[in-house]
A and B are shown apart, each in its own frame.
Chain A
Amino acid sequence: MTGISVAGIQKRFGAYQALTSVSLEVRDSEFTVLLGPSGCGKSTLLRIIAGLEYADGGTIDIGQRRVNDLPPRLRRIAMVFQNYAVFPHMTIYDNVAFGLRTRKTPEAEVRTRVMRMAELMDIGAQLSKYSAQLSGGQRQRVAVARALVVEPEVLLMDEPLSNLDALLRLQMRAELKSLLQEFNTTTIYVTHDQVEAMSLADRIAVMNGGHIEQYGSPMQIYSRPATRFVGGFIGNPPMNFLLDDHHSYSRQVGLERPGKAHSLGIRPEDIQVYREMATQCWPVKVGVVECLGPMQQFTAELDHQMLRVTADPDLALHSGETLYLRPDPAKVCWYDGEGRMLPV
């Protein structure tokens, strides 16, 4: 049973602190996504787990083994890179067989395993071709097949879908999900695409500035962002944050708030919109209205603070008019002055 346990990992590139004491527990056969903006250290963390970078401090255990000082080849991992890294001078067959052959697998077994994997990944027709003859999507399949064929204890994926065009990405995402469910391999997956993260992950670790902001299930991350950064990074449009240090806005809509609360967070879709003046509402002025098909979005100005609100597409909205908003009390999150969520 292969969990991954990362504790207190630090990494510095010259004067730049890439990772500040990062800890992460991945359970056996769990799919964990490292999500964050570029430069947050997510790829560095993955490369440290793979053994491609050496951490300045901290420990890494894969299964029950401490792998800190083991080279990548001894870590029983497999990795898929953003640019696929399909060897251009070998046929696809040789690419997929590469890992088995370096581990001295008998050629007959190599053949059966490569063929089985090729069938599974639907690249059987490409086996005698070279990387240059393949489309991006096919190369992606080869890279995944090549990683999975060695039956690694841990699969590491570094933005594997980001070089594909939008439609193909959607398709590959679904395929990848069902494939990895079948294989049950412990997986760490790096991406900056929140939709990808939400749809694939058992748990998401949101990273920012070299540390993990929150580690939890997609729903936890979405509905209870542990920090203002997470709320602002996840969701499109992101969570609204209303400065409420004088208790005035929360009182206006009848909300109980924790003592140290500095601001309240509410998702755009968790706000009720009223045309007529109602009790316990915020009166707002409508700014920009955008119709998005299944819904519409508008910006609302509340005493110089801006809120983004999602509304029913049938509601006739006009820029400049006054509307009345009421947040769903169960969905409101509270944050202290440092941006950390407060328990209710």
Chain B
Amino acid sequence: MGLFRVQARAFEPTYPLLQGAEIAVGWYRLDGRVAVKPNPWLPYLLLGPAGIFVLVFFVYPFLQVFFLAFQDSAGQWSLENFRVMVDDFNFAPSLINTLMLCFAVVPVQICLALVMAMMISRVDRGRDTLLYIWTIPLGISDLAAGIIWLSILEQSGFFNSLLGYAGLIDQPLNWLNYQNPVALFFAVVVAEIWRATAIVLVILVAGVGLIPKEYNEAAEVFGAGTWRRFFTITLPLLRPSLQSALILRTLLAFEVFAVVLILGGIDLPVLMGESFKWQFEYRDAGVAATYAVVILGISIAFTLLFLWALRVPEEAQG
């Protein structure tokens, strides 16, 4: 191995005096001898463990998902799993619900986060506190977010109590079941907006921080008003951040699972939940993996779509 050859070379007996001198003086230590020649293996030793880990726990299972989805239980190539999945009465609703949730949630989150980022850029005192409060949901799991909104929206929850105090209802209404699909849908939308706007906010605040103040000041000197500056300076320069926020949030929206499970249970099927059900309740890894392939498929499709739609022309990149 190169490593040892190099080490040997550093202390070749060409300079027999050297070793004796080093030890006699005792000034320079001889332990842990390493040749000065940059050890070409060192970066690979440092990155190797992480790289192998990613190969084993990302690349391999990623490929395995496809084997599971496209093979039957006997190991033959087949579309049987897809047939089972599509024939399941929950498949179409789960696909539609997942996409609808994404379309309802993500635009609101982007706009809300944009407003919040603009507001934060105008605050000097208390900026850190504000940022801390607004980013608290970052650390809260979707399960906990579901439970939090359950406490508000369940039959004897705080929302109904408020309506009761206001005299609008005489007895608690049940918002979270199949009889009220629109309310259930919006309950999930509200919970998702509450939980996951913070990640968009952080990406956008970081993006705003990267825009040099001089651009805005120059525009102000030329007489551009607040709105004009926002639309002609800030928004275009924020496009890379908006792009990554949009992609990240859309992908996470397709993974929606625990919030829906807590608030809607079986009344609002989504792709991730169906995948879980097939794996955990029906013990059918093949169909569960087929759902995973569907989620991966729409994730990749939307990533490519956003990359294309929001591309920044090469020559306009600062």
Give A residues with C-beta under 8 Å from B: 51, 54, 64-66, 68-74, 76, 102-104
Contacts and interface: CB of A to CB of B under 8 A. Distances in A.
| B27, B35, B36, B38 interface centre (most CB from chain A within 10 Å) | B36
B18 A69 contact: no
Interface stretch (B7-15, B117-125, B154-162): B7-15
A71 B18 contact: no
A64 B15 CA distance: 10
Contact of B36 (A51, A66, A103, A104): A51
Nearest to A68: B36
A171 B311 CA distance: 54
Interface in B17-32: 17-18, 21-22, 26-29
B34 interface: yes
Contacts of A70: 10, 36
B237 to A, nearest CB: 31
Classify the secondary structure of A's interface with B.
Answer: loop
A102 B31 CA distance: 12
B200 to A, nearest CB: 35
Contacts of A76: 27-28
Contacts of B34: 71
B37 interface: yes
Nearest to A72: B36
5 contacts: A54-B38, A66-B14, A74-B28, A76-B28, A102-B29
Given A71-B34, A74-B22, A103-B27, 4 more contacts: A54-B36, A69-B9, A69-B12, A76-B28
A274 to B, nearest CB: 54
A7 to B, nearest CB: 16
Contacts of B29: 73, 102-104
A51 to B, nearest CB: 5
Nearest to A74: B28
Contacts of B18: 65
Contact of A65 (B6, B12, B15): B15
Interface string B165-187: 00000000000000000000000
A71 B36 contact: yes
A72 B38 CA distance: 12
Nearest to A51: B36
A294 B80 CA distance: 96
B72 to A, nearest CB: 52
A151 to B, nearest CB: 10
Interface residues of B, number: 19
| A70, A76, A103 interface centre (most CB from chain B within 10 Å) | A70
Nearest to A151: B27
A64 B47 CA distance: 39
Contacts of A71: 10, 34-36
A169 B12 CA distance: 45
B38 to A, nearest CB: 6
A103 B27 CA distance: 6
Contacts of A66: 14-15
A290 B73 CA distance: 92
Nearest to B35: A69
Contacts of B21: 65
B28 A69 contact: no
Contacts of A68: 36
A243 to B, nearest CB: 44
A103 B10 CA distance: 21
Nearest to B27: A103
A72 B10 CA distance: 12
B28 A73 contact: yes
B28 A103 contact: yes
A242 B21 CA distance: 57
A123 to B, nearest CB: 25
A69 B10 CA distance: 5
Given A103-B27, A103-B28, A69 B37 contact: yes
Interface string B27-56: 111000011111000000000000000000
Closest 8 interchain pairs by CB? A69-B10, A71-B36, A51-B36, A54-B37, A74-B28, A69-B35, A69-B9, A103-B27
Contacts of A51: 36
A50 to B, nearest CB: 10
Nearest to A69: B10
Contacts of A73: 28-29
B130 to A, nearest CB: 28
Contacts of B22: 74
A13 to B, nearest CB: 13
A22 to B, nearest CB: 18
Contacts of A69: 6, 9-10, 12, 35-37
A134 B9 CA distance: 43
Nearest to A64: B17
Interface string B108-149: 000000000000000000000000000000000000000000
Contacts of B14: 66
Interface string B225-244: 00000000000000000000
Contacts of B35: 69, 71
Contacts of B37: 54, 69
A73 B6 CA distance: 17
A74 B18 CA distance: 11
Nearest to B38: A54
Contacts of A72: 36
Contacts of A103: 27-29
B257 to A, nearest CB: 44
Nearest to A76: B28
Contacts of B9: 69
